[in-house]
A and B are shown apart, each in its own frame.
Chain A
Amino acid sequence: DTEVTQTPKHLVMGMTNKKSLKCEQHMGHRAMYWYKQKAKKPPELMFVYSYEKLSINESVPSRFSPECPNSSLLNLHLHALQPEDSALYLCASSRGGGDYYGYTFGSGTRLTVV
């Protein structure tokens, strides 16, 4: 298995809702990442997990809450989002936090906040 799987592919949520995005990989990678991508912009790093511990938080608002229950799974919990949070949310993984290998990205979850 050489893929990063993200679910759901599309999500529409209200500003008072709580939802979660899921990311899964079975490549034995020990580092996992969340990126946010607005339309026609490059991906922006949000969080880095290394060996199931949060290593980097790029000053992301607390309405985004990451969780890494095990080495294969990464969640992003969403609460009280704003319409400007609508974006493509990308998950990626790599062999390790400081390695020289590329990242494998999922296809993303397209989130719309109404």
Chain B
Amino acid sequence: DAKTTQPPSMDCAEGRAANLPCNHSTISGNEYVYWYRQIHSQGPQYIIHGLKNNETNEMASLIITEDRKSSTLILPHATLRDTAVYYCIVRAYSGGYNKLIFGAGTRLAVHP
């Protein structure tokens, strides 16, 4: 299973862009990178995923380096409600089945 490395915590000012990095140097060619977040005491929420191209949706943008060994999740205008733990996950297969294995994540604090 490809492992991911994220900083344990980050701060961001409200209204500014939050850039959350993730290293996944052992990723295989057909493995997707997923980002989830978990607001306190709630279930994880899907944000975005990608393979090799940059992706954007209504929540965030995902920038994947050309060698695919790292990626950055961008929240373009962070709000206080974006305070959460953000998980970068490389999906693992086991016997043909999909497994999302969570790492420690990054605790993002958005402050006024």
Residues of A bordering B, CB below 8 Å? 4, 31, 33, 42-45, 48, 50, 55-56, 88, 90, 92, 94, 96-100, 102-108, 110
Contacts A42-B87, A42-B104, A102-B34 given; indicate if A31 touches B98 (C-beta within 8 A). Answer: yes
Instruction: Please report which residues of chain B, range 15-50, place their CB below 8 angstroms from some CB of chain A when the two chains form the complex.
Output: 32, 34, 36, 38, 41-46, 49
**Whole-angstrom distance between the alpha carbons of A54 and B100 in the complex?**
16
Select from chain B the residue with minimum beta-carbon distance to A58: B99
* A97-B97 in contact (CB<8A): yes
Q: Inter-chain contact count A-B, CB under 8 Å?
A: 64
Given contacts A105-B43, A105-B44, A107-B42, is CB(A45)–CB(B101) below 8 Å? Answer: yes
Q: How far is the CB of A57 from chain B (nearest CB, A)?
A: 11
Contact with A along B84-96 (1 / 0, CB 8 A): 0101000001111
B99 near A102 with CB under 8 A, answer no
Shortest distance from the beta carbon of B59 to any chain A beta carbon, whole Å:
12
Contact yes or no, B43 A108, CB < 8 A: yes
B76 is an interface residue with CB less than 8 A from chain A? no
Q: A88 — which chain B residues lie within 8 A by C-beta?
A: 41
A10 CB to closest chain B CB (Å) equals: 11
A100 and B32 contact, Cβ closer than 8 Å, known pairs A42-B102, A42-B105, A56-B99: yes
User: How far apart sit A32 and B34, CA to CA, in the bound complex (Å)?
Assistant: 18
Q: How distant is B87 from chain A, measured CB to nearest CB, in Å?
A: 7
Report whether B96 and A97 are in contact in the complex, using a CB–CB cutoff of 8 Å.
yes
- Pick from A55, A56, A90: contact of B44, CB under 8 Å: A90
